[in-house]
């Protein structure tokens, strides 16, 4: 698609902000906005309008959810010390999932809020059950692996090599900027992690990673962290099975092989462009059944029973060490 | 069609104070009344600050939740609006100070630049009142058919294609009508003298 002019952008900017453009137009507008401050300002204005319209038209439903949450909070505060109200406290704990609150879960651990059960999230090494050294000694029991440092197995499983594809860091960043949103982007860094969702409730939970508003976010922060819009075809985060049942005490693991994330409407890629210490934080908006009270309802294709609702989960940041190294040999 | 109620007229601060007094006595109806009165202005403020429509509902819930937790510390109930906007301001600050990405794409670039904090909480409240009133007026001036489209898009969450199929009209017509309505409303929301 040929580049759009400012007049063409202005004509469609509200539809773009409302997510009503076709993918090709969407990509072309996104490219233009990255380079045009005037149109970016129009985009902000349009997004303000779309956001206000969402608030205005969805107000009854949103207020209903807000009131349910405030009531649960009120009950929790009133009855938190009484053992007979523990089930209510557990329900209040479930409601916390709806607002994206972070709780302290270290990789491989689960949270236990107010003595109740919940769905916990953490990024964990893909080989966490065995450990890097053992995995190395056994060859590769987990199938194709992303590139990890050649030579002796590193002690820290979150160590990855810097790969600038033969360019300087500055040139590499310029390339990322120029190719944002297109298929010309270099492949994003490979990683070897799993997103673990652990069910600590006393009932089976069903998870629908493919629901329409599902969104995976991988916030990479560090000395050379760069995030750009990915090509629309880059739908890797949304390929897992439609509905997954997770029994009490069990986990669902979603492999995270590359730094690709986002929603169906907006795919993003993250890159590291300098060696050093980085952090990676995961946020995941996913549809869960039974829906916690107050959760936004989710339409899940193929669901025949039970109501799904969206929950926003956020894991703790994990540390990544990016080291300058020769091009990995791969495994 | 379930049309949301029009935006409430500004109310005297004394009424807020009376509702807060009932709230402190455990009257949940007073809590509901205050949340309904301030929900849209708080959301408008949050939207202005974080520029992310998808975050507004969560941040608004956190704002009101914090209000419930700390209402006993509200020493001047007649200034409830300012106090509530202060909480919303703090929630935004917390979100804006979160660990950041280095971004190149314009879609996120503006997230890195918080709006200048030149307005007091009371002024923010007044500004949001004006914006929401302007939006209501703009919506009232639109044809019924266009308001129906907006309801299907923004309340029912339908795509333009789904709307077109339901109404038996071309998708291009639906998009064109929506685009025209958006442009009209966008102009309405601009402060006076702030023409492009």
Q: Is A156 exposed, middle or buried (0-12, 13-18, 19+ CB in 10 A)?
A: exposed
Burial B56-87 (b: 16+ CB within 10 A, else e): bbbbbbbbbbebbeebeebeebbbbbbbbbeb
> Measured between CA atoms, how close is B51 to chain A, in angstroms?
7
Gap between the Cα atoms of A257 and A270, Å rounded? 12
Name the pTM for this structure. 0.50
B61–A contact, CB cutoff 8 A? yes
Chain B residue numbers with beta carbons less than 8 Å from the beta carbon of A181 are: 105
3-state secondary structure of A39: helix
Distance from CA of B155 to the nearest CA of A (A): 5
Residues shown for chain A: 331
| Residues of chain A with C-beta less than 8 angstroms from the C-beta of B111 | none
Mean pLDDT on A131-144: 25
Which segment of A61-70, A108-117, A213-222, A238-247 scores lowest on mean pLDDT? Answer: A108-117
ipTM > 0.90?
Answer: no
Q: How far is A136 from chain B (nearest CA, A)?
A: 33
pLDDT at position A121, please? 66
Structure tokens at B99: 């660990």
CA nearest B37 in A: which residue?
Answer: A63
User: Which residues of chain A have a CB within 8 Å of the CB of B52?
Assistant: 51
From the number of C-beta atoms within 10 Å of its C-beta (0-12, 13-18, 19+), residue A160 rates as buried
Buried b (16+ CB within 10 A) or exposed e, A292-304: bbbbbebebeebe
Which residue in the set A18, A49, A67 is minimally distant from B153, CB to CB?
A: A18
Residue B131 near chain A (CB below 8 Å): yes
Chain segment B161-186, per-residue pLDDT in tens = 999 999 999 999 999 999 999 999 99
Question: Are the beta carbons of B61 and A69 separated by less than 8 Å?
Answer: yes
User: Considering CB atoms only, which of A20, A43, A221 is closest to B99?
Assistant: A221
Nearest to A45 among B28, B139, B186 (CB): B186
SS (H, E, C) chain B: CCCCCCCCCCCCHHHHHHHHHHHHCCCHHHHHHHHHHHHHHHHHHHHHHHCCHHHHHHHHHHHHHHHHHHHHHCCCHHHHHHHHHHHHHHHHHHHHCCCCCCECCHHHHHHHCCCCCCCCHHHHHHHHHHHHHHHHHHHHHCCHHHHHHHHHHHCCCCCHHHHHHHHCCCHHHHHHHHHHHHHHHHHHHCCCCCCC
The one-digit pLDDT tens for each residue of chain B (196 residues) are: 445 545 444 444 447 888 898 888 888 888 888 999 999 999 999 998 888 888 888 889 999 999 988 888 888 888 888 889 989 988 888 877 654 432 222 233 333 333 334 457 778 888 888 899 999 999 999 999 999 999 999 988 888 999 999 999 999 999 999 999 999 999 988 865 444 4
Q: Are B2 and A60 an interchain contact pair (Cβ–Cβ within 8 Å)? A: yes
Alpha-carbon distance of B29 to A59, in angstroms, equals 18
Query: Measured between CB atoms, does B99 come within 8 Å of chain A?
Result: yes
DSSP A127: T
Nearest to A49 among B60, B61, B186 (CB): B186
């Amino acid at each position: 698609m040929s580049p759009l002019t400012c007049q063409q952008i202005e004509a469609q900017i509200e539809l773009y902000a409302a997510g009503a453009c076709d993918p090709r137009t969407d990509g072309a507008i996104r490219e233009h906005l990255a380079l045009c401050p005037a149109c970016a300002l129009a985009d902000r204005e349009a997004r303000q309008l779309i956001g206000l319209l969402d608030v205005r038209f969805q107000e009854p439903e949103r207020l209903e959810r807000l009131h349910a949450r405030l009531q649960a909070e009120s009950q929790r505060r009133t009855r938190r010390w009484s053992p007979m109200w523990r089930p209510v406290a557990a329900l209040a704990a479930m409601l916390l999932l709806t607002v994206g609150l972070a709780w302290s879960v270290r990789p491989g651990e689960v949270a236990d809020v107010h003595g109740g059960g919940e769905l916990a999230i953490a990024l964990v090494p893909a080989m966490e059950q065995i450990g890097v050294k053992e995995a190395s000694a056994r060859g590769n029991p987990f199938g194709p692996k992303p590139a990890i440092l050649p030579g002796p197995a590193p002690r820290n499983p979150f160590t990855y090599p810097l790969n600038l594809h033969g360019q300087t860091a500055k040139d590499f960043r310029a390339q990322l900027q120029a190719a944002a949103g297109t298929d010309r982007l270099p492949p994003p860094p490979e990683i070897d992690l799993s997103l673990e969702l652990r069910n600590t409730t006393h009932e089976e939970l069903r998870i629908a990673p493919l629901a329409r508003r599902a969104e995976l976010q991988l916030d990479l922060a560090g000395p050379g962290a760069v995030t750009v819009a990915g090509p629309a075809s880059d739908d890797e985060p949304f390929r897992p099975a439609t509905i997954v049942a997770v029994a009490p005490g069990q986990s669902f693991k979603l492999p995270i092989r590359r730094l690709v994330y986002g929603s169906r409407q907006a795919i993003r890629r993250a890159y590291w462009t300098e060696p050093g210490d980085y952090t990676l934080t995961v946020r995941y908006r996913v549809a869960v059944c039974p829906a916690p009270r107050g959760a936004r309802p989710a339409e899940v294709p193929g669901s025949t029973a039970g109501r799904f609702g969206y929950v926003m989960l956020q894991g703790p940041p994990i540390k990544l060490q990016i080291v300058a190294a020769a091009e990995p040999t791969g495994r | 069609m379930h049309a949301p109620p029009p935006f409430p007229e500004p109310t005297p601060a004394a009424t807020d104070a009376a509702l807060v007094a009932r709230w402190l006595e455990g009257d949940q109806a007073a809590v509901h009344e205050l949340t309904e009165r301030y929900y849209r202005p708080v959301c408008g403020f949050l939207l202005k600050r974080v520029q992310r429509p998808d975050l507004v509902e969560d941040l608004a819930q956190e704002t009101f939740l914090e209000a419930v937790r700390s209402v006993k510390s509200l020493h001047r109930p007649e200034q409830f609006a300012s106090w509530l906007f202060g909480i919303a301001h703090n929630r935004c600050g917390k979100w804006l100070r979160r660990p950041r990405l280095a971004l190149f794409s314009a879609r996120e670039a503006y997230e890195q630049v918080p709006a200048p904090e030149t307005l007091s909480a009371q002024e923010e409240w007044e500004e949001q009142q004006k914006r929401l009133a302007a939006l209501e007026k703009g919506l009232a001036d639109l044809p019924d058919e266009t308001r129906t489209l907006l309801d299907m898009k923004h309340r029912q969450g339908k795509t333009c294609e789904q709307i077109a199929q339901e109404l038996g009209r071309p998708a291009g017509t639906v998009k064109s009508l929506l685009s025209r309505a958006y442009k009209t409303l966008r102009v309405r929301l601009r402060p006076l003298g702030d023409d492009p």
